[in-house]
Amino acid sequence: MDSTVVLIGAAVGLIVIAAYFFTRIVRRRSDLARKDHAPAASSVEPLAARRFPQAPPRGRGAGQAGRSARCEAERQKMRPLTNYNEEVIDRLVTFERNRMPHASEEALHSAAHERLVRDNR
């Protein structure tokens, strides 16, 4: 009885070890395959540039003076959440603009604020 339990335990242990090494080999091969087919570094743009393209300001005056009071109020709410980093706020608004290209500036600022609050929960 005891020798049977020991043999079963040893067999299970060997199966677990074999599965572990098999998955390591498969991962290593897939990683090497990805490296071989990766595009040249010069042709790849940074991830931040792809996710948050810098769009020119829109609307009246195309600057801070041209923003409506509601946009400024939304930006004021976002400032403490972004450590007063205006570039982050601009990227958030640009992200929302890419999602909703026909929305008004007020709707974009409101959506950016809602997303920021939701993501920080």
| Domain range summary for the chain, segments of one domain joined by + | 2-38, 47-119
pLDDT at residue 67 is higher than 60? yes
pLDDT given for residue 86 in this prediction: 92
- Going by pLDDT thresholds of 50, 70 and 90, the confidence category of residue 65 is low
Mean pLDDT of 82-102: 92
Reduced DSSP (H G I as helix, E B as strand, rest coil) percent helix, strand, coil of the chain, to 5: 75, 0, 25
Q: What is the DSSP string of 65-106?
A: GGS-HHHHHHHHHHHHHTTT-HHHHHHHHHHHHHH-TTS-HH
Candidates 66, 61, 52; CA nearest to 99 is 52
pLDDT, tens digit, for every residue of 34-50?
Answer: 655 555 555 555 555 55
